[in-house]
């Protein structure tokens, strides 16, 4: 869909850069500025869309929106894959392994750094090994349910 097409990439990059500098330079209250920085551009976009007489379907045809994807039952993650190896695209899966390795390292480092930051900011001493183990266990549960890992920065 996107593949760095300017109509999708440029607005996202500009909004992201603006939000970065708003946060980095401590402009305003982040609990107000961050949601506004995400919602105001959306409001402007949809205002222009509807003011120009366009519809959601016409915006999809022009490439401004994703194609419509229907909802599927959550259990299909298991029923459509377990024991049905012909339906698994192993080459696509293999291409994600380098990203997975990097994300495991980043996620674990973030967990450990957060635990040590907790020690310096709160009057308690968490057990680093136990907390990291719990973090890993819950990430396995999230992955088994098809969810993203629990990244502590979010």
- What is the DSSP-derived secondary structure letter of residue 79? H
Distance separating alpha carbons of residues 11 and 2, to the nearest angstrom:
12
Beta-strand ranges (E) seen in the chain are none
Q: What secondary structure does DSSP assign to 103-140, as a single string?
A: HHHHHHHHHHHHHHHHHHHSS----HHHHHHHHHHHHH
- Listed in sequence order, the residues at least 6 apart from 106 whose beta carbon sits closer than 8 Å to its beta carbon are none
User: What's the pLDDT at 154?
Assistant: 45
* pLDDT tens-digit readout, 90-147: 898 889 889 888 888 888 888 888 888 887 888 878 888 888 888 888 888 887 776 7
* pLDDT tens-digit readout, 83-101: 788 877 889 888 988 988 8
Token output for 33: 């500025």
Distance separating alpha carbons of residues 43 and 35, to the nearest angstrom:
12
- Listed in sequence order, the residues at least 6 apart from 139 whose beta carbon sits closer than 8 Å to its beta carbon are 107, 149, 150
Compare 80 and 91 and report the one with higher pLDDT.
91
- Read off the pTM: 0.53
Instruction: Note the Cα 84 to chain centre separation in Å.
Output: 28
């Amino acid at each position: 869909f996107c593949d760095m097409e300017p109509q999708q990439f440029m607005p996202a990059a500009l909004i992201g850069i603006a939000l970065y500098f708003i946060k980095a330079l401590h402009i305003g209250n982040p609990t107000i500025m961050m949601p506004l920085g995400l919602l105001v551009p959306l409001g402007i976009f949809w205002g222009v869309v509807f003011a120009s007489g366009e519809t959601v379907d016409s915006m999809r045809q022009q490439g401004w929106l994703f194609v419509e994807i229907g909802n599927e039952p959550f259990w299909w993650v298991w029923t459509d894959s377990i024991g049905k190896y012909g339906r698994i695209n192993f080459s696509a899966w293999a291409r994600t392994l380098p990203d997975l390795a990097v994300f495991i390292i980043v996620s674990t480092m973030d967990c450990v750094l957060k635990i040590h930051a907790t020690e310096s900011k709160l009057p308690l001493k968490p057990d680093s090994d136990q907390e990291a183990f719990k973090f890993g266990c819950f990430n396995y549960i999230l992955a088994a349910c098809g969810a993203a890992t629990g990244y502590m920065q979010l």
